[in-house]
Structure formats: structure tokens, C-alpha cells
């Protein structure tokens, strides 16, 4: 058949028309859209059986109750637990993101042994048996050399069974070096010890106070138990209670307070004493308290050294404001003064704590409704005495490497001194355990800390995540994350009541991890002898059940146990302990750096959207960070527009920030809420470890600041550092 041009064209046109009236193109069009609605690379969350499990969040010391929504054995959502005494259903950004940590790519999925150089990131997977025997072998070696005291541990806190298992382990092994991460609670405890002679936590009956005077405490920025403080703040608002915030920066707390009084940073103690002076001069103080020992000396101190005019000069607050603040504070029916800057993650100057505590005492609110309570620790951990063998007996009597208890007699742990002591060669550690803490990120002068770690031959991390400390260790024996494990959570963060919460396994462990309680017991058992005997339990769970005794059932049933009636301890109040003598001539904690080369003062600020402790921000939380805090890869430094103008810096431009300890490239955020001459950086950024959602974003404030030893407590009193900001 001959195909002519004409028949060919007819065929083409006819074919096209014919195809168009068949269902084919329409079907294809429909199929294509259906395909786009079901792209195989867009996940379809599988359905399953729904359930809720109650537990307790351990991501910060807040100790909130959580209700975890599950579908089959998957966690799909974490919510605040209704009726839980700490958070009453509320929850914070971090707690909400706990499931992202559970399923995080940054988790350590099995025991790991370093194969490359330290911090190089080369690891070998090993079995749990190998890991335990590796640790035991090393520890036996050290012990057999009679060096048992050169083993130390860094633990997140010192209450609860896990820290106590570590303490017990070190004791049985023969080392005094049980160290904890520092916080304002250390300073509060010491204050209560020095001024009231009691061994207790400071608890704040915040909900019942009617005038809250906060010396820089981030009431709604994560201070204390965060969710509880948010709730208290709303209660105050609903009932017309007043909050006065004293700090150099308009923080969220300052903005939400009834009055923000900017103060020259570092002079808070002087203000507290100046207020005390006005109160005493006006005889507004509680009459009962004037009988206390040291009252007369205290009165002399404030009247001679803290006259309103002088305090005005020191603090930069005008005299009239000081007088009126003192009057309103003292005439409130339930005034409460609190301190501990920001989230209270640094201990701060003891003078400040004592001065503020004295202010509370003056208005008679110690152990009173709406006041500060001395809350004794719940003593539910009653384990049999450890039988010490000879090595252990010798070891525990040695001086601690950080000088706590010796150089600084009141201190229990001074981790802030560790870097300097180790780096100066005055003390040495052969082995170090780290659990629930990330000191290489969160201790001031983290670079010095890293150097100190480098000189410790054997570092074992129990971290669940590949954090900065874990990445620089020799061996990682990963703990379960909180959604996978049992743990008792005695809540200590400023609660006026003893509450123990129960963290419990919500889902099966995702990886080959172990509860750190079990791990430490296995190591003890591998070491044998009296060390093994100190741990008579079959497992951590058995230990926990036995320890909690009758409380266990209550915990399983309700999720928490709380003291039926609140307990406080009251000792003899001493207004003017010897430790306060240094206040007879006020000098603020000196700042590192010279004014000439560092004309500005750099302070940190805390945000509830930035976790700055052991846990780093999970993806959801870092997503919620504002672009004026983190912008691209740069952290933003807050600068008053006036200061910015002087320095020729405009909004959003890059600048180079120098302090005597380090430097960082930052972006400028002009903020009218910060005192001219002062600049502020957020804490919680600048991770080098974790996943791509967190690592490499912003700079770590701790790399820019160094510790300053408080002369009395030995704790870190630094609140800022001198700095220079230049255009780049």
C-alpha cells in the first residue's frame, strides 16, 4: 500500500482526534495526579492501637509529669500530664520534643570503643560484655597501683538513685571524686547552710507570694522548674500579684513583669543590701527577726555601707526608685525575693544569694507561706553501709581533685575548678566517668575543659547521644533515653514540697542501650570483691523497687509520690555569717579583661527555646528559635542601637566578637531592651556535636567566658566578661 502525504496526514490527525476521545489521555491525567497524591517518598504514618503512658520528663531538672501518646509501640506525641503536682498538664518545648530525641539520628546505638584519635569520630561497635570488661580491666589496673582516688565521675545531679549509685561505686572503689554539674542550687544550699545552719534545698512557695522581687531570675525563661514557674506567673497575673524584675536586659521575664528595673550587672547584692537598709531604717522589718543573731551587725553593715545614695551610685538605679521599691516590697503581705540569674544554670556570687536571703529574712518570710522554705532532702535512699576494703579506705580519705571540702570547706563539688587544677598539673585523674552531663559543652571556658579532658587517659561516657563529651571519650556505654527507662526523679528545682516522680519505660529500647544504673552495677560486679558486694541487687529495677519500698506502688499508680505534709527545717538564723564580711566594702565580681581592649561587657541570656544543659535542642525546638537569636549559622548578639551606632554596626550585619577567652563571628541584632555598653549572647547554641539540625549553629557562650571563683563558696561566680565587637 502506498502511503501518500494526504493519507499520512489524515492518519495523524485522525489518530490524534481519536485518541483524545478515548479514555486513555484522561485516565493518564487522572493517574498522574493520583500518583502525585501518593508519592512513595512521602511517608504514610501507619495506624495501630492507641494508648497513653504516664511518665516523668528528665530532659531538665524541672521534673514534669508527661502523658505519652503511643500508636502500637511507637511514641507519637508527648503531652503534659494532667493533675501532676509540678506542671499540672503544661509542658515546655523541650519536653514536647522528647520523641525526637528518642528517634534521633544522634543517638549512640550500641557500646562504642574509640579507634581513631580522641574526638576524631572513629568508633568500633563492641558488645556490652566487652565494654564492661574493658572498663573493669582499666579500673582494676588503676586500683592495683593504689591510685583508686584518681578516678572521678561527673554526674548531672546528686539526688536520686542513679547519682547515689555512682557515689556508692566511687566510695566502694576508693575515690572521693564524685562531682556534679554546678547550678544555682549549690549556692542556695550553701546560703541555707551558712545563714540557717541547715542542710536543705531552697524551696519557693511562689504561688502564694504576692510580691515577687527577682534579681535577674528568669521566671519565665526557664528558672526553677520551668513549667511550674510559668503557671505561677499566670496565677500572679490572674490575682493581681506584682513582679519586679531587676536585670540589665529586657528579658521575657522583665517584659512580663509589672516593673522592670535595669541595673548595672554584678551589683545586685548591693541593691539587696540597700533595700535592706531602707527597710530597717523605716522599721518595716519583721520584729521577730530583729532578735536573730547577727542582726545588729547586719544593720550596721547596711546602714554604714549601703546608704541609698551610695547604692544608687553602685547600681545605677535612682534613689527614689530604691526607696519606693523597698517600701512596696516590705509592705506587701507576702513578699518574696529570689535570685539565680536566668535559668540558674550557673551558681553565681554567694554574697548575692546571702544578701537576697537576708532580704527575705528581714520581711519574715523564711519557712512561711509565700516565702522561702528550707526543704530537707527526702531520705528514701537507705542502703546498707559500704564495706570498704583497705584500698577504698585509703582512697576515700584522699583530698578531692577539685578542692571541695578542703580548700573550700563548704563546697560539695567544684567542677568549675577542675579544668584549671588539671591543666596546671596540680591534680590528676586517671579515669573519668560522665553521665547525664555534657561538661565539654556546658562548663565555662569549655576549651580549657577539653584540654583537661585530653590529659585524662580514660574517659567513659554513658551518654545516650553523641554529644561533645561523648565524642571526646574513649568508650561510650549508652544509657536508655528517658522514654525507655526507669528512674526516680526527686524534684529539687525550687519546689517547696518533696516530690518524687517515676520515669518509666514507655517503649521498648530502640537500640542496644542499657540503663546506666545497670551498667554501673555490672562494672562493680566485674571488679569483684567488696565493690561487687556493695551492689547486692540483681538489676537496677530491683534496686529501685527495694529503695522506694512502699513508695513504689504509689509511684506506679500515680506517677509520683509527694510528702503529705510539707516539711521544712529551721535552724538558728544568722543574719551576718562570717562569710558575709566581704560585703563590708562592696566590690562586684571582677570581670576578666581590660577596659581598654575590651570596652563592652558581654553577658549571656537564657531562653526557654534554647536548652543549654546536657540535652541539646531537638529539631522542633531549634526550629522555634527566633531569627533574631539564630540567623543562618550565626548567633545574634544583642546590642543597644546607641552602642551599635557608636560601633558603626547595623542590624543583621556580621561582627567579630572578642573576649579574653575566645572569639566568635556573630550577627548584630539591635535591641532597645539592652543597656547601652552591654551586649548579650544566648546560651545553648554553638554545638559541635549532635546532628546537622543543631551542630554548627551559632557560637557557644561557654567558649567565650571563663570561670571566676567565688572567694567563699569556690563556686563559679562569673556573670559576664569584657568584650570587643568589631565590624567584619
Partner 1 sequence: MKEEGKHNKKAKKYGMVINLDNCTGCGACMVACMAENNVPFKEDESDKLDSITWMRVYKLANGESYPDADICYLPRPCMHCEGYHGHSPCVSVCPAVATDYNHDTGIVSQIYTRCFGCRYCMGACPYHARYFNWWDPVWPEGMTKYLSPNVSARMRGIVEKCSFCFHRHQLAMDKAFLEGRTELEENEYQTSCTQACPAGAITFGDLNNPHHKVNQMVKPDNKHGGRPGDPNAFRLLERLGTNPKVYYISSKEWVRRAGDNYLANEDRTVQQH
Partner 2 sequence: MDSALIPKGLKRCSIGKFYLGIALVGAVVLWGVYAMLLVWIKGLNQTNMNDSYGFALWIWADLGIIALGGGAFFTGFLRYIIGKDELKNIINYAVVIGFVCYASAQLILGIDVGQPLRGWFIFWHANVHSMLTEVAFCLTCYFGVLVIEYIPLLLENRQIDKVPFFHNLGHNMHEIMAIFAATGAFLSFFHQGSLGGVAGVLYGRPFAVREGLFIWPWTFFLFTWSAAAFGPCFTLFVTRLTEKITGKKLVKQNVIDLLAKIAGWMMGTYIIAKIIDTWYWATVTAPSKGFTFMDFYSDNSFYGIWILIAEIVVGGIIPALILLSPKGRSNSTALFTAVSLACIGVLINRWVMVLQVMAHPVMTFENWFLYVPSWQEVATTILPVAGGIIVIALSYRYLPIFPQEKELNP
Give which of partner 2, ligand SF4, partner 1, none residue 652 binds (C-beta under 5 to 8 Å, depending on kind). none
Give the one residue of 55, 153, 252, 413 binding partner 1; rule: CB under 8 A: 252
- Contacted by 619, from ligand SF4, partner 1, partner 2, none: CB < 5 to 8 Å by type: partner 1
Partner whose binding site includes residue 434, from partner 2, ligand SF4, partner 1, none (CB under 5 to 8 Å by kind) = none
Nearer to partner 1 (CB atom), residue 451 or residue 623: 623
Among 55, 100, 351, 446, interactor with partner 1 by CB under 8 A: 100
Shortest Cβ distance from residue 568 to ligand SF4 (Å)? 24
- Is 624 one of the binding residues for partner 1 (CB under 8 A)? yes
- Identify what 60 binds: ligand SF4, partner 1, partner 2, none; CB under 5 to 8 Å per kind: ligand SF4
Among 182, 216, 218, 226, binds ligand SF4 (CB under 6 A): 226
For position 5 contacting partner 2 by CB under 8 A, the verdict is: yes
The residues near 566 (Cβ < 8 Å, ≥ 6 apart) are 373, 375, 496, 497, 498
* Contact assessment for residue 645 and residue 725, using Cβ atoms and an 8 Å cutoff: no
Residue 678 binds which of partner 2, partner 1, ligand SF4, none (CB < 5-8 A, kind-dependent): none
Contact between 300 and partner 1 by CB under 8 A: the answer reads no
Give the count of alpha carbons within 13 A of 214, CB side only: 36
139 backbone φψ class: left, alpha, beta (φ>0; ψ -120 to 50) = alpha
Cα–Cα distance between 528 and 172 in angstroms, integer? 11
**Contact region for partner 1 (CB under 8 A) — 91-99, 122-130, 184-192, 371-379?**
91-99
Could you say which of 7, 12, 27, 35 contacts partner 2 (CB under 8 A)?
35
Which helix (H) or strand (E) covers residue 299, if one does? helix 295-305
Phi, psi of 526 (to 5 degrees): -65, -30
* Using rule CB under 6 A, residue 684 touches ligand SF4: no
Q: Provide the minimum distance between the beta carbon of 235 and partner 1 in the complex, in angstroms, as a whole number.
A: 9
Burial of 544 (0-12, 13-18, 19+ CB in 10 A): buried
- When asked if residue 59 is in the footprint of partner 1 (CB under 8 A), the reply is no
Residues 6+ apart with CB under 8 A from 184: 339, 340, 341, 344, 345, 346, 347, 348, 353
Tell which positions 227-256 bind ligand SF4, by CB under 6 A: 227
Does the protein bind partner 1 through residue 125 (CB under 8 A)?
no
Residues 437-496, interacting with partner 1 (CB under 8 A): none
Which of 111/344 has CB closer to ligand SF4? 344
Least distance to partner 2 from the beta carbon of 20, Å?
A: 14
DSSP 335-381: EEEE--SBTS-S---HHHHHHHHHHHHHTT-BTSTTSEEEEPPP---
d(CA 70, CA 683): 33
- Supply the minimum distance, in Å, between the C-beta of residue 63 and ligand SF4: 5
Q: What span, in angstroms and rounded, lies between the C-alpha atoms of 546 and 535? A: 12
Q: Which stretch binds partner 2 (CB under 8 A): 31-39, 272-280, 372-380, 669-677?
A: 31-39
DSSP 445-489: SHHHHHHHHHT-SEEEE--SB--HHHHTSSEE-PPPPGGG--EEE
Q: Which of 62/203 has CB closer to ligand SF4? A: 62
Strand partners, 53: 68
Q: Where in 473-629 does DSSP place strands (E)? A: 475-476, 487-491, 499-503, 560-562, 600-605
What track of x and - describes contact with partner 1 for positions 211 through 230 (by CB under 8 A)? ---------x-----xx--x
* Nearest alpha carbon to residue 125 among 137, 140, 110: 110
- The footprint of partner 1 on residues 633-662 (CB under 8 A) is 633, 640-642
What is the closest distance, in whole angstroms, from the C-beta atom of residue 721 to partner 1 in the complex?
A: 22
End-to-end CA distance of the chain: 81
Query: Which among partner 2, partner 1, ligand SF4, none contacts residue 29 (Cβ within 5 to 8 A by kind)?
Result: partner 2
Applying the rule CB under 6 A, the residues between 72 and 111 that interact with ligand SF4 are 87, 91-92, 94-95
Per DSSP, the three-state class of 665 is strand
How far apart, in whole angstroms, are the C-alpha atoms of residue 650 and residue 672?
Answer: 13
Query: The C-alpha cell of 191 is what?
Result: 546560703
Of 557, 662, 566, 643, the C-alpha closest to 600 is 643
Q: Does 404 bind ligand SF4 (CB under 6 A)?
A: no
**For ligand SF4, which is the closer residue by CB, 87 or 574?**
87
CB of 373 to partner 1, least distance (A): 23
What are the φ/ψ torsions at residue 381 (nearest 5 degrees)?
-90, 95
Task: Compute how many residues bind partner 2; rule: CB under 8 A.
Answer: 9
Q: Does 38 bind partner 2 (CB under 8 A)?
A: no
Contact criterion met (CB below 8 Å) for 69 and 81 = no
Segment lying near partner 1 (by CB under 8 A), choices 79-87, 202-210, 410-418, 655-663 = 79-87
The C-alpha atoms of residue 499 and residue 558 are separated, in whole angstroms, by 12
Closest alpha carbon to 616 in 109, 101, 226: 101
Residue number with CB closer to partner 2 (256 or 567) = 256
Nearer to partner 1, 182 or 218 (CB): 218
Q: Where are the beta strands (DSSP E) in 475-546?
A: 475-476, 487-491, 499-503
Owner of C-alpha cell 522561702 = 372
Strand, coil or helix: what is 530?
helix
Closer residue to ligand SF4 in complex, CB, 252/435: 252
Quick one: 56 or 523, whose CB is closer to ligand SF4? 56
User: Candidates 53-61, 167-175, 543-551, 632-640 — which segment interacts with partner 1 by CB under 8 A?
Assistant: 632-640
Q: Which does 57 bind (CB under 5 to 8 A by kind): partner 1, partner 2, ligand SF4, none?
A: ligand SF4
Q: Which is nearer to partner 2, 250 or 580 (CB)?
A: 250
Provide CB contacts within 8 A for 557, sequence distance 6+: none
Interface with partner 2 (CB under 8 A), residue from 33, 38, 42, 239: 33
| Residue 123 vs 188, nearer CB to partner 1 | 123
36, 38, 283, 291: residue in contact with partner 2 (rule CB under 8 A): 36
Q: 544 or 611: whose CB is closer to partner 1?
A: 611
Inter-residue contact 469 to 144 (CB < 8 Å): no
291 binds, among partner 1, ligand SF4, partner 2, none (CB under 5 to 8 A by kind): none
Q: Is the Cβ of residue 91 or residue 649 nearer to ligand SF4 in the bound state?
A: 91
CB 644 within 8 A of CB 663: no
For cell 569584657, the residue is 722
Using alpha carbons, list the distances in angstroms from residue 414 to 215, 246, 394, 429: 24, 28, 22, 15
Contacts of partner 1 in 16-55 (CB under 8 A): 36-37, 39, 41-48
Q: Which is nearer to partner 1, 234 or 584 (CB)?
A: 234
Grid cell, residue 167, equals 557515689
Rounded distance between C-alpha atoms, residue 311 and residue 407, angstroms: 32
Smallest distance, Å, CB 438 to partner 1? 21
Is residue 57 a contact point for ligand SF4 (CB under 6 A)? yes
- Residue with the closest Cβ to ligand SF4? 95
Phi, psi values for residue 51, rounded to 5°: -155, 165
Question: Dihedral of the CA atoms 314, 315, 319, 324 (nearest 10)?
Answer: -140
3-state secondary structure (DSSP) of residue 332: coil
Query: Does 563 contact partner 1 by CB under 8 A?
Result: no
Supply the minimum distance, in Å, between the C-beta of residue 690 and ligand SF4.
17
Count of residues interacting with ligand SF4 (CB under 6 A): 13
Nearest to 278 by CA among 245, 311, 316, 315: 311
Residues in contact with ligand SF4 by CB under 6 A are 57, 59-60, 62-64, 87, 91-92, 94-95, 226-227
Residues in contact with partner 2 by CB under 8 A are 5-6, 9, 29, 32-33, 35-37
Amino acid at each position: 500500500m502506498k502511503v501518500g502525504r494526504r493519507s499520512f496526514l489524515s492518519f495523524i490527525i485522525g489518530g490524534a482526534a481519536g485518541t483524545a476521545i478515548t479514555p486513555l489521555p484522561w485516565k493518564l491525567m487522572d493517574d498522574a495526579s493520583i500518583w502525585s497524591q501518593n508519592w512513595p517518598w512521602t511517608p504514610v504514618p501507619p495506624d495501630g492501637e492507641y494508648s497513653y503512658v504516664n511518665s516523668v520528663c528528665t530532659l531538665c531538672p524541672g521534673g514534669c509529669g508527661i502523658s505519652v501518646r503511643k500508636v502500637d509501640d511507637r511514641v507519637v506525641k508527648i503531652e503534659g500530664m494532667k493533675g501532676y503536682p509540678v506542671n499540672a498538664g503544661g509542658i515546655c518545648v523541650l519536653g514536647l520534643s522528647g520523641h525526637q530525641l528518642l528517634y534521633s539520628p544522634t543517638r549512640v546505638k550500641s557500646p562504642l570503643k574509640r579507634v581513631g584519635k580522641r574526638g576524631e569520630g572513629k568508633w568500633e561497635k563492641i558488645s556490652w560484655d566487652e565494654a564492661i570488661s574493658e572498663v573493669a580491666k582499666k579500673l582494676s589496673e588503676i586500683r592495683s597501683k593504689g591510685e583508686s582516688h584518681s578516678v572521678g565521675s561527673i554526674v548531672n545531679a546528686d539526688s536520686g538513685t542513679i547519682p547515689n549509685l555512682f557515689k556508692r561505686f566511687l566510695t566502694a572503689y576508693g575515690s572521693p571524686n564524685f562531682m556534679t554539674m554546678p547550678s544555682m542550687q549549690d549556692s542556695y544550699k550553701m546560703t541555707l547552710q551558712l545563714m540557717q545552719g541547715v542542710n536543705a534545698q531552697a524551696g519557693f512557695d511562689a504561688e502564694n507570694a504576692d510580691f515577687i522581687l527577682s534579681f535577674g531570675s528568669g521566671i519565665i525563661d526557664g528558672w526553677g522548674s520551668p513549667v511550674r514557674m510559668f503557671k505561677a506567673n499566670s496565677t500572679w497575673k490572674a490575682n493581681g500579684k506584682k513582679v519586679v524584675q531587676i536585670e540589665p536586659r529586657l528579658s521575657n521575664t522583665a517584659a512580663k513583669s509589672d516593673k522592670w528595673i535595669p541595673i548595672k550587672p554584678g551589683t545586685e547584692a548591693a541593691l539587696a543590701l540597700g533595700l535592706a537598709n531602707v527597710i530597717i531604717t523605716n522599721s518595716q522589718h519583721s520584729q521577730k527577726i530583729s532578735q536573730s543573731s547577727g542582726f545588729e551587725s547586719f544593720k550596721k553593715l547596711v546602714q554604714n555601707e549601703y546608704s541609698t545614695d551610695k547604692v544608687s551610685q553602685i547600681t545605677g538605679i535612682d534613689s527614689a526608685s530604691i526607696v519606693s521599691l523597698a517600701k512596696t516590697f516590705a509592705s506587701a503581705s507576702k513578699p518574696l525575693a529570689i535570685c539565680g540569674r536566668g535559668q540558674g544554670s550557673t551558681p553565681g556570687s554567694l554574697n548575692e544569694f546571702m544578701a537576697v536571703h537576708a532580704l527575705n529574712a528581714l520581711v519574715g518570710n523564711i519557712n512561711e507561706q509565700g516565702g522561702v522554705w528550707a526543704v530537707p532532702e527526702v531520705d528514701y535512699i537507705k542502703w546498707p553501709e559500704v564495706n570498704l576494703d583497705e584500698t577504698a579506705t585509703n582512697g576515700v580519705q584522699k583530698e578531692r581533685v577539685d578542692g571541695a571540702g578542703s580548700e573550700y570547706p563548704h563546697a560539695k563539688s567544684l567542677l568549675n575548678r577542675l579544668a584549671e587544677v588539671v591543666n596546671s598539673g596540680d591534680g590528676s585523674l586517671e579515669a573519668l566517668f560522665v553521665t547525664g552531663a555534657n561538661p565539654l559543652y556546658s562548663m565555662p571556658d569549655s576549651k580549657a575543659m577539653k584540654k583537661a579532658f585530653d590529659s585524662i587517659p580514660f574517659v567513659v561516657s554513658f551518654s545516650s547521644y553523641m554529644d561533645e563529651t561523648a565524642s571526646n571519650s574513649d568508650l561510650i556505654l549508652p544509657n536508655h533515653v528517658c522514654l525507655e527507662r526507669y528512674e526516680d526523679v526527686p524534684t529539687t528545682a525550687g519546689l517547696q514540697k518533696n516530690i518524687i516522680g517515676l520515669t518509666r519505660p514507655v517503649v521498648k529500647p530502640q537500640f542496644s542501650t542499657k540503663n546506666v544504673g545497670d551498667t554501673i552495677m555490672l562494672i562493680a560486679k566485674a571488679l569483684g570483691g567488696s565493690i561487687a558486694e556493695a551492689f547486692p541487687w540483681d538489676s537496677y529495677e530491683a534496686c529501685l523497687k527495694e529503695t522506694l519500698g512502699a513508695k513504689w506502688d504509689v509511684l506506679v499508680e500515680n506517677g509520683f509520690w509527694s510528702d503529705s505534709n510539707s516539711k521544712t527545717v529551721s535552724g538558728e538564723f544568722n543574719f551576718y555569717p562570717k562569710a558575709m564580711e566581704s560585703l563590708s566594702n562592696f566590690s562586684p565580681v571582677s570581670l576578666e579583661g581590660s577596659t581598654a581592649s575590651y570596652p563592652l561587657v558581654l553577658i549571656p541570656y537564657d531562653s526557654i527555646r534554647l536548652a543549654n544543659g546536657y540535652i541539646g535542642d531537638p529539631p522542633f525546638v531549634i526550629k522555634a528559635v527566633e531569627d533574631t537569636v539564630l540567623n543562618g549559622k550565626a548567633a545574634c548578639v544583642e546590642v543597644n542601637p546607641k552602642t551599635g551606632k557608636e560601633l558603626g554596626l547595623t542590624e543583621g550585619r556580621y561582627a567579630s566578637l572578642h573576649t579574653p577567652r575566645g572569639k566568635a563571628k556573630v550577627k548584630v541584632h539591635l535591641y532597645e531592651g539592652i543597656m547601652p555598653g552591654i551586649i548579650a549572647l544566648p546560651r545553648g547554641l554553638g554545638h559541635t556535636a549532635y546532628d546537622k539540625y543543631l551542630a554548627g549553629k551559632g557560637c557557644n557562650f561557654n567558649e567565650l567566658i571563663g570561670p571566676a571563683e567565688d572567694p567563699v563558696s569556690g563556686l563559679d561566680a562569673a556573670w559576664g566578661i569584657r568584650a570587643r565587637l568589631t565590624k567584619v
